A = this chain, B = another copy of it.
Amino acid sequence: MTKYVKQTRILVAVDCIIFGFDGYNLKLLLIKRGFEPEKDKWSLMGGFVQSDEKPEEAASRVLKQLTGLKDVYMEQLLVFGEPNRDPIERTISITYFALVDIKKYEKQLSDDYRAEWFPLNRVPKLIFDHDRMVQNAKRKLRYKAALHPILFELLPEKFTIPQILTLYEQVYDVQLDKRNFTRKLRSTGLLIKQMDKDKENSKKGAFYYKLDKATYKEKFTKFLNFVSNPEY
């Protein structure tokens, strides 16, 4: 059968907004662009969708290239498609956000792409419309995390309650009451208490917890309420 005639074919790219949490700050992984235009400027990690590839496969591939990680939590966000967003040639970009455990990220790989983690409030100016992409992703992260337990994806396998608290405070830029927060968290049934403690951050030490994977999956679509009236 014949092709669709007289229609414009367009370059399709993916761009990844990669969030990480180091225990203190929420961070964004950026790279220095290796080719023209805008060579050596800060940019999101991205790549073109190949001819035999689904967009989500392209996003996973790109993420793996940069971080060495697979099976990472990713979610499709907005498409950015203004005709002139890329000065070289029209390119439509599908954005994804990725939530990674920053400690699993292998430092040496970053050097290939000259990657760097930036605290969210110190992100440099980015190329093209990548600033808007980041804004949108931050907004979406807040929105989603207010209702679903996705922030656990940012934590290592073993984590403490004070760590989660800090994470939520970082994401929403608010102070939370640790007592009420702890109660809510425990009541979800998502946590399994471990026997050992993290003694790095305090003298008393804080118990480690693991995520109850079964409950996590089951309750993922249920609406939670860790943050009341979040701004997003």
Contacts and interface: CB of A to CB of B under 8 A. Distances in A.
Interface of A: 1-4, 7-12, 36-37, 48-56, 76, 78-79, 81-83, 87-92, 94, 146-147, 221-223, 229, 232
Contacts of A83: 51-54
Given A88-B1, A88-B4, A81 B52 contact: no
A11 B7 contact: yes
Contacts of A48: 4, 7-8
A88 B1 CA distance: 7
Contacts of A11: 4, 7-10
A70 to B, nearest CB: 20
User: Which of A36, A91, A92 has most B Cβ within 10 Å?
Assistant: A92
A232 B148 CA distance: 13
Most-contacted residue by chain B among A87, A147, A223 (CB, 10 A): A223
B12 A92 contact: yes
Contact of A232 (B36, B221, B229): B221
Given A10-B12, A222-B229, 17 more contacts: A1-B36, A1-B37, A2-B88, A7-B48, A8-B11, A9-B10, A10-B10, A12-B12, A12-B92, A49-B81, A51-B90, A54-B82, A54-B83, A55-B79, A79-B94, A146-B223, A147-B147
